[in-house]
């Protein structure tokens, strides 16, 4: 595998799901989703609401390599910045995609192309 760190300062992989309807905003749904991600990836401990209203949950960015998920009104995203390998990035995306339908009520009917 090509190690992208040798040719770039930062690199990352991200997965986005756009929805036709708004995602849940209930505190319990979001906390349960973020807690599920923390159980799978214990380094994810930083939660914040950004000025745009987006909620972000991520690992410490100062480590250089970090996982993150965001929930916006009509978009869910997950990613891994500077992953050690592509398998780790795939594992992160799959874990987020596995949990999202249960906590964020995402359905194939609701997904935008």
Tens of pLDDT, residue by residue over 36-47, are 999 999 999 999
Question: Per the domain annotation, does 113 fall within a domain?
Answer: no
Question: Per the domain annotation, does 63 fall within a domain?
Answer: yes
Here the CATH number for the domain that contains residue 85 is 3.30.160
The model carries a pTM of 0.89
Question: Per the domain annotation, does 18 fall within a domain?
Answer: yes
Spell out, as residue ranges, where the chain has pLDDT lower than 50. Answer: none
Distances (CA, A) of 57 to 23, 35, 42, 79: 16, 10, 12, 11
pLDDT of residue 8: 75
pLDDT of residue 5: 60
Question: Per the domain annotation, does 26 fall within a domain?
Answer: yes
The residue range of the domain holding 91 is 4-107
pLDDT of residue 53: 87
Residue 55 CB coordination number (10 Å): 18
Which pair of structure tokens corresponds to residue 17? 């799901």
Whole-angstrom distance, CA of residue 58 vs CA of residue 67: 6
* Number of structural domains the chain divides into: 1
Question: Per the domain annotation, does 112 fall within a domain?
Answer: no
Which pair of structure tokens corresponds to residue 86? 């592509």
Alpha carbon dihedral 56, 60, 62, 67, in 10-degree steps, equals -70
Question: Per the domain annotation, does 71 fall within a domain?
Answer: yes
pLDDT of residue 7: 73
């Amino acid at each position: 595998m090509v190690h992208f760190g040798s040719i770039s300062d930062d690199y990352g992989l991200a997965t986005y799901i756009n929805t036709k309807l708004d995602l849940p905003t209930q505190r319990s749904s979001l906390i349960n989703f973020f807690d599920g991600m923390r159980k799978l990836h214990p380094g994810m401990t930083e939660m914040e609401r950004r000025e745009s209203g987006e909620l972000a949950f991520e690992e410490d960015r100062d480590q250089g390599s970090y996982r993150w998920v965001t929930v916006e009104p009509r978009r869910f995203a997950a990613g891994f910045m500077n992953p050690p390998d592509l398998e780790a990035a795939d594992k992160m995306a799959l874990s987020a995609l596995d949990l999202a339908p249960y906590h964020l009520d995402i359905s194939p009917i609701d997904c935008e192309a």
